[in-house]
């Protein structure tokens, strides 16, 4: 029987699993036990995964191939990071980057970010959330699939400490305006600065950013804080 209910559950991803290389597959096999936090319906025990208990706690949602994630973790060695990604090739690639760069402050959760926040991230526990270049779903009929929506913000907002920040970057102007409008209408978040084209020093250029700039797109860095 065909389902008539149009309500779609929130997902932080779309199933576009790329080819898993041997290098990535070997990393998943060899390094998962040490660097991947299993998805469980219980709070993340940060103290069991990181040695620096005074560090800021930062989660990145949808890290792709993980290059940016690794670079930021390398720059900000005094902070603790968890990267969430559902696609195995990216997980394997980031595992290799963790090992190559000897990153002790970065772990991975290989699962849907929405379910992770609903089940594993405690209230008032995070100092920051990063979301870099989420799928813009630029065709109007697909806008409803965009990650940044009021319901999604309501899912991640409780995990943020007071004065913590949410950093979203995109190179699609329409999506940037969508994100700004969504945040402006969300009670509890306030956009920190309207100077969207000034990139924070900790965020390196990404592959998607370079491609977008090559196509003539501007890159928007949208930072909001929890009031």
Name the residues annotated as catalytic: 135
**Beta-ladder partners of 225:** 165, 190
Phi, psi of 90 (to 5 degrees): -65, -40
The C-alpha atoms of residue 209 and residue 190 are separated, in whole angstroms, by 25
CB 110 within 8 A of CB 42: no
Q: Quick count: other Cβ atoms within 10 Å of Cβ 53?
A: 8
- The helix/strand/coil state of 93 is helix
Q: State CA 185 to chain mean position distance.
A: 21
d(CA 139, CA 130): 24
């Amino acid at each position: 029987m065909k389902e008539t209910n149009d309500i779609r559950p929130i997902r932080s991803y779309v199933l576009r699993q790329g080819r898993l290389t041997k290098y990535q597959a070997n990393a998943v096999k060899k390094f998962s036990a040490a660097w991947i936090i299993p998805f469980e319906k219980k709070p993340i025990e940060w103290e069991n995964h990181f040695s620096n208990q005074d560090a800021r706690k930062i989660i990145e949602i949808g890290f792709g191939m993980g290059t940016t994630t690794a670079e930021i973790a390398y720059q900000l060695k005094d902070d603790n990071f968890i990267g969430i990604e559902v696609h195995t090739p990216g997980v394997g690639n980031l595992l290799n980057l963790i090992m190559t760069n000897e990153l002790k402050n970065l772990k991975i959760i290989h699962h849907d970010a929405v379910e992770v926040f609903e089940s594993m991230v405690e209230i008032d526990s995070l100092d920051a959330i990063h979301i870099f270049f989420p799928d813009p779903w630029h065709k109007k009929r697909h806008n409803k699939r965009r990650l940044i929506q009021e319901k999604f913000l309501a899912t991640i907002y409780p995990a943020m400490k007071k004065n913590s920040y949410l950093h979203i970057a995109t190179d699609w102007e329409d999506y940037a305006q969508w994100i700004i409008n969504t945040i402006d209408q969300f009670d509890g978040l306030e956009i920190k600065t309207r100077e969207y084209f000034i990139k924070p020093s900790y965020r390196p250029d990404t592959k998607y950013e370079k491609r977008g700039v090559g196509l003539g797109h501007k890159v928007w860095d949208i930072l909001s804080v929890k009031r």
